[in-house]
Chains A and B, each alone.
Chain A
């Protein structure tokens, strides 16, 4: 874990209640999709954990929903603002677990960490199919970015305003994709349904209210088949067989 000061390069709305934050990040201690950074926002006591969506030399991209007071305050910060950021947190997705062909299943902003994973999988020369679910068309994020990389992209919206009407599991049933390993990130209820629907190995990125984000306050504990685990440190990515789903 490292603490740094990163400067906001851009911070703008990309979909309904959704902001994209690009930070000039020097040479951060960041590795793979599924890892997160922990941001301190002026006027708020606890940090806010945000998944890494993309990284390029010298900069990182994060997506966040402006749902609470903290993220609303974050959304108001202009370019050039310096942020106190912890990096090197969490255990991310394992792109090596996939042999040849990966299935990515995202719900809402769960698409963010899967995008960085997608880049890594494609860099390894693997086939990637992405199924992205949203509530409605104006909440869709990263569709163009996934289409530019993936061998196939399916969109599902709950209200049918784009792609298949229904849940990601409906889109999966319609698509019948072939894959050897799956990766999922989104609301817990969605990931549980995905893990139950997919007959094969995979991993899921969990979310929990965090304190320190670095494994020492024990606030974000979850139960797994091998006992209590910390979402921030032992996860957020867990193998399907570790989860009680």
Chain B
């Protein structure tokens, strides 16, 4: 029997729920020569700020058991280049859902960037990153306090016509209270989770492996942590959730959806296997068949 992989996210129709997560898929065009991007449910673009950023010094990446730590530090060409160059370039080879991921160092910056992203024809949804662990005086600071997260949400919601999702940090005591604050402030949905703040030390050199000392831990190891947060938030909020964290297989996509995710982002796995998303998508129908699932929509939040 033909399987229905499609999902509906804030009025947008996705052919399947699988979306490469922000920061693990560049601006999409980098992968356009390797496989047909149109198989994807959507693409979340690399985090973008108002001004261009070089990012952190190297090394920016460290190997871990079943995962990795990165401290890229929001290297990006700035919002003007995103809307005038990166998105139009992607649109030449990709017709699916495009998610702009926006970061900032002040509420004003979030607002300015989101407004430009909102007015960009090639962008369908805006994901507001209040959870980057790799930049100082911003990023994660907005996402670790309900009032700050709500303030950013409210400011952005005011200037956007497109769906606004807030990407939450797992580095908090109570993610549900922050999720609820975003929902109350007008968020259309939530993406969770961003990376877990982590660190490695090179015991030969007696120094941190990363030039920035700390970074964001992601990869297969974080899947159960992310899943738990998705489950907690999805049952406490009415707005849709994009689940993200350690997903590496079609089975885990289904697990995330049963926990309450409407769409599922694949992150670090893309760095191990640049073909992870198309491989997961192509194996979804057989896994659904084995589990007796006809349509993915019917399993969302069923656990």
Contact = CB atoms under 8 A, between A and B. Distances in A.
Contact of A218 (B55, B62, B272): B55
A70 B34 contact: no
Interface string B48-71: 000000110011111111111010
B108 to A, nearest CB: 26
A194 interface: no
- Among A1, A44, A47, A211, the most chain B Cβ lie within 10 Å of the Cβ of A211
Contact of B63 (A44, A218, A221): A44
A215 B30 contact: yes
Contact of A214 (B30, B66, B70): B30
A209 B58 contact: yes
Given A1-B33, A45-B66, A211-B68, A216 B274 contact: yes
Interface string A14-52: 000000000000000000000000001000111100000
A15 B55 CA distance: 38
Interface in B98-118: none
A84 B273 CA distance: 9
Contact of B68 (A3, A46, A215, A233): A46
Given A1-B274, A45-B63, A214 B58 contact: no
A209 B61 contact: yes
A216 B54 contact: no
A41 B23 CA distance: 24
Contacts of A217: 23-24, 26, 61, 70, 72, 270-271
A215 B31 CA distance: 8
A228 B271 contact: no
A229 to B, nearest CB: 11
B299 to A, nearest CB: 29
B25 to A, nearest CB: 6
A75 interface: no
A8 interface: no
A45 B65 contact: yes
A193 to B, nearest CB: 21
Given A214-B30, A218-B72, A86 B60 contact: no
Interface in A198-245: 208-212, 214-223, 228, 233
Contacts of B273: 3, 40, 84
Nearest to B65: A45
Nearest to B34: A1
Nearest to B66: A45
A210 B61 contact: yes
B277 to A, nearest CB: 12
B157 interface: no
A84 B279 CA distance: 14
B240 to A, nearest CB: 27
A3 to B, nearest CB: 6
Contact of A219 (B30, B58, B67, B272): B58
A214 B31 contact: yes
Contacts of A216: 24-26, 30-31, 270, 274
A209 B271 contact: no
Contacts of B23: 217-218
A70 to B, nearest CB: 7
Given A45-B68, A216-B26, A220-B58, A228 B75 contact: yes
Highest count of chain A CB atoms <10 Å: which of B26, B59, B65: B26
B272 A45 contact: yes
Contacts of B75: 218, 221, 228
Contacts of B275: 3
Interface string B186-224: 000000000000000000000000000000000110000
Interface of A: 1-3, 40, 44-47, 70, 84, 86, 208-212, 214-223, 228, 233
Interface of B: 23-26, 30-31, 33-34, 46, 54-55, 58-68, 70, 72, 75, 219-220, 268, 270-275
Given A218-B23, A222-B58, 9 more contacts: A3-B275, A45-B63, A47-B272, A84-B273, A217-B26, A217-B271, A218-B72, A219-B72, A221-B72
8 A-B pairs with least C-beta separation = A216-B26, A216-B30, A209-B59, A219-B61, A219-B60, A212-B271, A211-B271, A1-B34
